[in-house]
Amino acid sequence: MDTGYWALQFLNALQFSMLLFLLSIGLTVIFGLLHFVNLAHGALYMLGAYIGVSAAASFGSYWAAFFLAPIGVTIIGAILYFTLIERLRHAGPMNQVLVTFGLIFVFLDLVRMTWGDIALGLEAPAALAGSSEFAGISYPTYRFFIIAVGAVVMAALWVGLTRTQIGAMIRAGVENGNMAAALGINVNRLFFLVFCVGCALAGLAGVIAAPVFSATTGMGISILIPTLIVVVIGGLGSLEGAIAGSLIVGFIETIGAVFLPEVAAISSYVLLAAVLILRPQGLIPARG
Partner 1 sequence: MFKQTRLRSVVLAATLAGLIAYCVMGGFYAREIVVEIAILAILAISLDVVAGFGGMVSLCHGAIMGIAAYAYGILTVKFGLPPLPSAVAAVAGAAVFGTVVGWITGRTSGIFFIMATLAFGQMAYTLIFKSQWLGGDDGMSGLPRFDLSWLGIKMGSSLTYGLFAIALTAAVYIAAAWVLRSAFGRTLGGIHANETRMKALGVNTILHRARAMGFSALLAGIAGIVAAQHTQFISPELLFWTISGEVLIVVILGGLGTLIGPVIGAVAFISLKHQVSGITDHWHIVIGLLLIVIVVAGGRGLYGQSEHWLALRTDKADDKSEDRGHA
Distance of closest approach, residue 63 Cβ to partner 1, in angstroms:
32
Q: Shortest approach of partner 1 to residue 137 CB, angstroms?
A: 29
Shortest gap between Cβ of 138 and partner 1 (angstroms)? 30
Which is nearer to partner 1, 158 or 213 (by Cβ)? Answer: 213
Vertex 229, ends 77 and 190: CA angle to 5°?
35
Is 181 or 221 the residue whose CB approaches partner 1 more closely?
A: 221
Closest contact distance (angstroms) between CB of 195 and partner 1 is 17
Q: Which is nearer to partner 1, 42 or 211 (CB)?
A: 42
Closest CA to 180 of 81, 80, 24, 32: 32
d(CA 226, CA 229): 5
Question: How big is the CA angle at 237 (ends 236 and 241), to the nearest 5 degrees?
Answer: 70
Q: Of the two residues 80 and 185, which places its CB atom closer to partner 1 in the complex?
A: 80
Residues 6+ apart with CB under 8 A from 48: 69, 70, 72, 73, 202, 203, 204, 205, 206, 207, 210
Q: Which residues bind partner 1 (CB under 8 A)?
A: 31, 37, 84, 87-88, 93-99, 101-110, 112-113, 221, 225, 228-229, 231-232, 262, 265-266, 269, 272-273, 276-277, 280
Q: Which is nearer to partner 1, 215 or 271 (CB)?
A: 271
201 close to 23: Cβ distance less than 8 angstroms: yes
CA gap 120, 272 in Å, rounded? 32
Name the minimum Å distance from CB 202 to partner 1: 17
Shortest Å, Cβ 155 to partner 1: 28
Report the nearest approach of partner 1 to the CB of residue 45 (Å): 16
Pick between residue 112 and residue 189 the one whose CB is nearest to partner 1. Answer: 112
By beta-carbon proximity to partner 1, the closer residue of 51 and 228 is: 228
